[in-house]
Structure 1
Amino acid sequence: MTVADGAVLAQLMAQGASAGADLATLRAIAEEAGELAAARALARLGLDDAAAAKDMAELRDLLGALRDAKRSVWKATMGWVMRIGGALLLTGLAAKFGFWDWVI
């Protein structure tokens, strides 16, 4: 999008004001305004160049890898907690039933 696209919106607005806006003109105004706003937002974010699609794909891959890493850490942590809990339970049972000498 360029500055000339803003001129299209201005022309549509003038047409709507002078001739009375019909439904087609209002739709065209809304569409042009939306496209212009989206282009400005992408430009402000620095995503208005040809490499933007590649950058966004890389960011999505990075976020996916981060989610996978967090899930793996959670699973590993829970696995260790369960193992420690099982070991403590077995140690407690051994002490309760008189097998304490085997534990030490």
Structure 2
Amino acid sequence: MTGAILAQLLSQTAEGGADLIVLRAIAEEAGELGASRALTRLGLDDPAAAKDMAELRELLTAWREAKKSMWQAVFGWTLKMVPVILMAGFALKFGLHEFAK
């Protein structure tokens, strides 16, 4: 889109005033033109862009799931190590390491 329709609509409003239908058409054309420019600037104006965005969303979802699993594993190992460290500390304090020999 080059904005020709938007320019024509704006000239109509300048000539004879603006009614609600023309104003809505201006807003719609301006929105479409702006969206088209934004997609072009982002490099998402080709037919493969929808597939690329779907793949990026899948990748982002997988990354979030992996990150969540990693934090769950770290938390789980931390909870398991606390009693082990406490028991080792008690064993050293009460001299139970001598008993093991």
Question: Would the TM-score normalized by the shorter structure come out above 0.5?
Answer: yes
- 2:65 is aligned with 1:68: yes
Return 5+ residue gaps in structure 1 as ranges: none
Q: Which moved more, 1:80-89 or 1:47-56?
A: 80-89
Is the partner of 1:54 in helix, strand or coil? helix
Choose 73-82 or 91-100, whichever is displaced more.
91-100
Distance 1:65 1:89 in 2: 37
Higher relative contact order (CA 8 A, sep 6+): 2
Residue 47 of structure 1 aligns to a residue in which SS? coil
The correspondence for 2:46, drawn from 35, 44, 49, is 49
TM-score by length of 2: 0.88
TM (normalized to structure 1)? Answer: 0.85
Identical counterparts, % of pairs: 59
Q: How large is the RMSD of aligned CA atoms in angstroms?
A: 1.8
Alignment of 1:87 with 2:84, yes or no, is yes
Q: Distance in 2 between matches of 1:40 and 1:66?
A: 30
Cα displacement (A) at 1:96: 5.7
Shift of 1:69: 1.1
Deviations 1:25-68 (A, max 9, x none): 11110000000000010011110111000000000011011101
How many pairs align?
Answer: 101
What secondary structure does 1:38 align onto?
helix
- Matched residues in 2 for 1:67 and 1:98: separation? 47
Structure 2 residues not aligned, in runs of 5+: none
